[in-house]
Amino acid sequence: MTMGPPATEETRVNARPQPHEARFDAAFSSCPMIAILRGLVPGEAEAIGDVLVEAGFGMIEVPLNSPDPFDSIARLVRRHGERALIGAGTVTATDEVRELARIGAALAISPHADPEVIRLSREHGLVSVPGVMSATEAFSALRAGAHALKLFPMEIIGGAGVKALRAVLPKGLRLIAVGGVDATTIAPFHAAGCAGFGAGGSLFKPGQGTAEVAANAARLLAALDSCRDDA
C-alpha cells in the first residue's frame, strides 16, 4: 500500500473547511473589485456601505490605519455581512486577526506576506489576501494558505511585472491589483493578467459624501464591466 507524505500542521490547516471561501468565490465571480475605505470613520460606515452594496460591491475592506477601524468593520458586518464580505486591510499582526474573527469579519487583507498572519487567518475562517511583489513572496504566501494574492503596489509592479509572475504562478490563481487602480488603469491591468482589483482613493476619500462615492463606484464598475466584456 502506497502512503502519501505525512500530514503537517500546515496541510491540516489548509485542508479545513473555510466558511467564507465559497462566498469569496461567488463575490469574486460577480464583481472582482474590493472597496478600500481608508480613512473611514464609524459614523459614516453604514451610509457608505449602503452605497457600495447597492452599486454591486461584494467585498469591502477598512484598512486598520483608519480611525477606530474595528468599530467601522463591526458596523458594516452587522448591516451588510449577509450581502457582502466585510473585513480589514493593512492586517499586519496576529492579534488583529483574532479581533477580526471575534467581530465576525470575513476578509484579512495585508500589505505584505506574513505566513503566520496567513495561517492564523485560515485557522479563524477568514479569507486571506496577502500583498506580494515578487515570486518568492508569492510562493511563500501560497504555501501558507493564501486564498488570493494582492499585487502591491501595482503602480510599481506594472504590467510587465504581472506578466512575468503569471508565467510561473499556478494557473487560475487570483491576482488582485492594488495601488494606482482607477477607471483608466483597470483595462491595462486586466490585460496584463490581473483578475481582480482593489479600489482605494479613486473610490473613497475621507469626507466624501455618498453621492460622490456612488459616482466614483459607477465609473469604476463601468470600466470593470468593459474590460470583462472584451475578454
Among 44, 61, 96, 99, the one annotated catalytic? 61
Alpha helices, H only, 31-124:
42-55, 69-80, 94-102, 115-123
Q: What is the CA radius of gyration of the chain?
A: 17
CA–CA distance, 205 with 201 (Å, rounded to integer): 6
Angle between the 135-144 and 115-123 helix axes, to the nearest 10 degrees? 30
CA–CA distance, 104 with 91 (Å, rounded to integer): 15
The yes-or-no answer on residue 46 being catalytic is: no
CA–CA distance, 49 with 44 (Å, rounded to integer): 8
DSSP code of 104? Answer: T
DSSP per-residue string spanning 175-190: EEEESS-STTTHHHHH
The residue among 100, 78, 90 whose CA lies nearest residue 34 is 90
Phi/psi at 62 (nearest 5 deg)?
Answer: -115, 110
The yes-or-no answer on residue 150 being catalytic is: yes
Spatial neighbors of 150 by CB under 8 A, at least 6 apart, are 109, 110, 111, 129, 130, 131, 132, 176, 178, 198
Among 44, 96, 99, 150, the one annotated catalytic? 150
Residue positions annotated with a catalytic role: 61, 150
